[in-house]
Amino acid sequence: MGESGRKLCSLSFSLVLPLLALSGCGSGLPGPADLTESKTRSSSATSPAGTTPFIPDDSRQAERFRTDPIAFLQECLARQATIGGYTCRFQKRERSKKAVQEQTMRVEFREKPFSVRMHLVTGNSGARDVLYVEGENDGNMVILPRGILSLGGLALRKPDSSQVMDGHRYSITRFGMTDSLGRNLQTWIDAKFRDKLETRWLGLQATPELEGKQCLVLTREHYDQPEEDGVEGMTLWLDPETGQQLGSRVVDGKGVLIAEYWYLEVKNNPVINPARFQKVSMK
């Protein structure tokens, strides 16, 4: 692929968010993933993420992916054009220098204008609720603190400020399934440009992290060089109907977790009262 072709297919999407002042929770890290090529197998077979059982692949999807994995993911992105927003339960685990940090949040998301509202369900954070709307509130996140700090009222913080980003990989401005898939796809495009892209199709699997939902599972492995945060392995879980990236996991060269993200209970194109994305609704 020439430089002009690379620029043509280059994407600028992104990954997931922080809340305010997160401290770590959870102790141990998972070991190296057990990557196994997908075939029709017995119910005792397990996937790299512990998903079980394997079930037969859709042969046409598998062949399409193996022939051109980049085109396959681009098609998944294109299928999401009619999704203008969603609600979900969002779970993330990120390894920081000190510990593994975990959070679960209820999310209301709108593509245009880019709007994210989050409510903390579990995990340590100084924020109970967070709102970000592109082009509003002078570019700030609106934060409702937890506990006694809420008596001081709402706080405003820049999404990329050091206070907010401490221990987090991505800001709230980079939240969303479409942006997440697009950002991961960009790393595949870059590897393809270097002629170093190695992927595997692991097929349609029931995924415990997604409460048994069947997803198409894809991996990228044998990296020629570490990428952002030392990533040297990636597994993606895609909704076979919508193409949305419902799960992702990245690991280092030893198979140790760097981060994982899960979108559960997704409801696409719900009716969300626009007032939910206004500062005055934060209380």
Query: Average pLDDT in the 113-132 region?
Result: 91
Predicted local distance difference test score (pLDDT) of residue 56: 45
First and final CA of the chain: distance in angstroms? 52
> Hey, CA dihedral for 123, 126, 129, 135, is it positive or negative?
negative
Tell me the residue range of the domain where 208 lies: 3-27+34-281
Residue 83 sits in a domain of what CATH number? 2.50.20.10
In this predicted structure, the answer to whether residue 192 has a pLDDT above a threshold of 80 is yes
Residue 209: strand, helix, or coil: helix
Residue 266: strand, helix, or coil: strand
Predicted local distance difference test score (pLDDT) of residue 100: 84
Our count of domains for the chain comes to 1
Q: How far, in Å, CA of 195 to CA of 27, rounded?
A: 38
- Per-residue pLDDT band at 14 (split at 50, 70, 90): very low
pLDDT tens-digit readout, 51-110: 333 344 567 888 889 999 999 999 999 999 999 999 999 999 998 776 788 999 999 999
* Residue 55 burial by Cβ neighbours in a 10 Å radius (0-12, 13-18, 19+): middle
- Per-residue pLDDT band at 120 (split at 50, 70, 90): very high
Residue from 50, 81, 101 nearest 237 by CA: 50
Q: How far, in Å, CA of 265 to CA of 88, rounded?
A: 5
Contact 269, 83 (CB under 8 A): yes
Beta bridge partners of 237: 217, 247
User: Cβ contacts of residue 216 below 8 Å, gap of 6+?
Assistant: 61, 203, 204, 237, 238, 239, 240
Query: Average pLDDT in the 165-187 region?
Result: 90
How remote is the C-alpha of 166 from its chain's centroid? 19
Buried b (16+ CB within 10 A) or exposed e, 179-203: bbbbbbbbbbbebbbeeebebbbbb
pLDDT tens-digit readout, 22-45: 333 332 323 333 333 433 222 223
